[in-house]
Amino acid sequence: MSVHRCELPQDFVRGIVLIYVITGAASGIGAATAARLRGSGHDVIGVDLAGAEIDADLSTSVGRAQALEQITARTEVVDGVVPCAGLAGVPGRSGGLLTALNYFGAIELITGLRGHLRRSTQGAVVASASNSVSTSPGVSDSLVEACLAGDESAAIEIGDEVGGLGAYPSTKTAICRWVRRNAVLPEWTGAGITVNAVAPGATETAMVAEIREDPVIGQFFDQFPIPVGRPGDPDEIAAVIAFLLGPDARFFCGSIIYVDGGTDALLRADDWPTPL
Ligand code: NAD
């Protein structure tokens, strides 16, 4: 009788169980990433408003502190952090609330878990950017700067002035800059922690369903060009996140990986790379 090589993922075969923290784990890209990692035999501590291991409102500093406290009560080591919790940039949404969650809810979790990531031999952060950073108008430089300065109350104020539509690509631009500025520092790469981001294009999740139903921008959503001819599936984004978390991605440092069916390439063919 011949013994066939098992199809199980390598980490599972080697018996290595890693611990990942995923925010927004109850839906969409976060849920797909959690399912993929669990399917590879790893542990996932999900954080979301409800329906994950830890319930917390990451748009508030109290909720972030509670999440960090509960994560710490469960583990001293975290192998990867994937902050997916986010709100869509629809015109009727408070840009301040969106800023508090999409930027500060992500960065405070990442920085709050740096000590846990250092204790791992393969610590990795994969932040959630978006192709809107280069394909949507309305990025507010002052909002980006307030985010990067860590001034949450100023950022919320500017976010409310800008509104949900402009706050979304602004917070994602700030995420990209934070990743590129910090990934290269001794605190991160010097501590053996990789820091990168995925920049998805339109991906079929609850977020996209909400945008499609929006009375102002919903009718335009499916007119946005996607060269591959369809929106992405959450698992297609999760696959890239899982790769960036894994052992084959240790040379990635400060990369923003577009996974968008070609939208950015179509709209900005010659705008990148930009010469030094
Ligand atoms: P989703 O709506 O399916 O999931 C977002 C999750 O965030 C939900 O589970 C929700 O409960 C959670 N959440 C909302 N408010 C929260 C709060 N205050 N505290 C804690 N959790 C909260 O969205 P998704 O499409 O899976 O988005 C995941 C990430 O990917 C987001 O950061 C989003 O901006 C980004 N993204 C999505 C797309 C897309 O087309 N879907 C494109 C680019 C980037």
* Structure tokens given for 262: 């070609």
For atom 41 of ligand 1, the residue with the nearest CA is: 203
Give the pLDDT score at 8. Answer: 54
For atom 33 of ligand 1, the residue with the nearest CA is: 86
- For residue 126, report the distance from its CA to the centre of ligand 1, in Å: 14
Of 138, 232, 131, 206, which is closest to residue 172 (Cα–Cα)? 131
Contacts of 220 (CB under 8 A, 6+ apart): none
**CB under 6 Å to ligand 1: residues?**
24, 26-30, 48-49, 57-59, 84-87, 101, 128, 130, 200, 202-203, 205-208
Of 196, 205, 173, 202, which is closest to residue 29 (Cα–Cα)? 205
Known catalytic membership, residue 258:
no
Collapsing DSSP to helix, strand or coil, 124 comes out as: strand
Segment 243-270 mean pLDDT: 98
Q: How far apart are CA 268 and CA 276, in angstroms?
A: 18
21, 22, 23, 27: which to mutate for ligand 1, most atoms within 8 A of CB?
27
* Structure tokens given for 269: 């063919």
Cα dihedral: 273, 177, 166, 146 (round 10): -150
Cβ(193)–Cβ(182) under 8 Å?
Answer: no
- The share of the chain scoring above pLDDT 90, in percent, equals 93
pTM: 0.95
Give the pLDDT score at 217. Answer: 96
Least confident of 13-22, 39-48, 227-236: 13-22
pLDDT at 6 over 90: no
239 vs 10, more confident: 239
pLDDT at 25 over 80: yes
Give the pLDDT score at 3. Answer: 39
Question: For residue 178, what pLDDT band results from cuts at 50, 70 and 90?
Answer: very high
Ligand 1 atom nearest to CA at 132: 43
Q: What is the pLDDT of residues 192-236, one digit of tens each?
A: 999 999 999 999 999 999 999 999 999 999 999 999 999 999 999
Length of the chain: 276
Structural domains of the chain in order of their starting residue, each with its CATH number: 16-257 (3.40.50.720)
Question: For residue 5, what pLDDT band results from cuts at 50, 70 and 90?
Answer: very low
Computed over every residue of the chain, the mean pLDDT equals 95
- Which uninterrupted H or E stretch holds 21? strand 19-23
Question: For residue 16, what pLDDT band results from cuts at 50, 70 and 90?
Answer: confident
- For residue 3, report the distance from its CA to the centre of ligand 1, in Å: 43
Residue type, position 59, single letter: S
Q: What is the pLDDT of residues 113-168, one digit of tens each?
A: 999 999 999 999 999 999 999 999 999 999 999 999 999 999 999 999 999 999 99
